[in-house]
Amino acid sequence: MSRFVLHERLAADCLVLGELPLSCVLLAKDGRYPWLILVPKRADIREIHHLSTAEQQQLMRESCALAELMEQGLVPDKLNVAALGNMVPQLHLHHIARFVSDDAWPGPVWGRFDALPYDDVDAEVARWRERLARLPDFVSAE
């Protein structure tokens, strides 16, 4: 039986903020967009329907809680939630706050621009961990 290991591309392109009961919570290393990612801590899972029914429901609870947190804190024009997996086969769920003023609006964020580093990545991580601490069951990675 395999054990959960974060895909190398996610590990390279993201910072681990912490965990929820089912998922790791990641911050994408792209300062252009508020961009969080949930990764269920299950080995060899590619699709949501590959999770058990209870895990599917838990993922939806975590995704909705994260989306509400982002919506309330950031007030985006649109919140994009997607599980694509074309480049990274490991199941992961993107949550991207979009604004009509962002660089890629109204198109998708993928492949448009190189990632823009945060001015102060430590401060950004601290802000997100503080926000995420409002969610029940969030455990910070610090």
Distance (Å, rounded) from C-alpha 36 to C-alpha 17? 9
Tell the residue number behind the tokens 């949930």, with chain if given: 38
pTM reported for the whole predicted model: 0.96
Amino acid at 16: V
Residues 95 and 81: beta-carbon distance below 8 Å: yes
Q: What is the pLDDT of residues 74-100, one digit of tens each?
A: 999 999 999 998 899 999 999 999 999
Structural domains for the chain: 8-137 (3.30.428.10)
Q: What is the pLDDT of residues 19-55, one digit of tens each?
A: 999 999 999 999 999 999 999 999 999 999 999 999 9
